[in-house]
Amino acid sequence: MSTRICLSCQQEYELKIEVYKSGQKSTRKYCDACLKEISVESGKRKTQIRSDKFIYLSDTRKVSKRDGYVFVIHNGIWHSEHRLVMEKILGRPLSKGESVHHINGIRDDNREENLELWLGAIRYGQRATDIKCHNCGEPYKI
């Protein structure tokens, strides 16, 4: 570890050398205390940025302002509600390549009858019920 002088409070602080994916080392110029103050004043604090992206309906439910999807806490982690509902319908976790489509196009309407399973991305995918095996003709197993 090396030491630096904080540009704000002029106190010496230990700098943990961080090497980023690009190979660059950390160029931090402020101690931890001053950095927190500066980030809050500038509005760049992560918690503030995150709260601006969602409308919190309760402690366990929020809606994305950007795209209108509902998120809920499940096992301590935020998950898309429509995906959890589809997993409940299927009785299994969604597989890679499976996506959930809102039939009426309303992204916060997560009723079971409004959701359908698609294979592939929604834009280019197909309904799982429309897919049949090209060898045996059996429908996709849902």
Predicted local distance difference test score (pLDDT) of residue 24 = 60
Beta bridge partners of 118: 99, 127
**Tens digits of per-residue pLDDT, 10-26?**
888 877 666 665 666 66
Binned at pLDDT 50, 70 and 90, residue 137 comes out as confident
**Tens digits of per-residue pLDDT, 24-49?**
666 677 777 777 777 665 555 444 34
Q: What angle (nearest 5°) sits at the alpha carbon of residue 97, between those of residues 56 and 118?
A: 75
Predicted local distance difference test score (pLDDT) of residue 25 = 62
Q: Which of 45-49, 52-56, 109-113, 129-133 has the highest mean pLDDT?
A: 109-113
Return d(Cα 77, Cα 56) in angstroms, integer.
15
Predicted local distance difference test score (pLDDT) of residue 47 = 41
Domains of the chain: 2-44 (3.30.60), 52-130 (no CATH)
pTM over 0.75: no
Q: Say what the alpha-carbon torsion angle 125, 129, 131, 136 is, to the nearest 10 degrees.
A: 160
Binned at pLDDT 50, 70 and 90, residue 6 comes out as confident
Residue 54 CA, chain-centre distance (Å), reads: 11
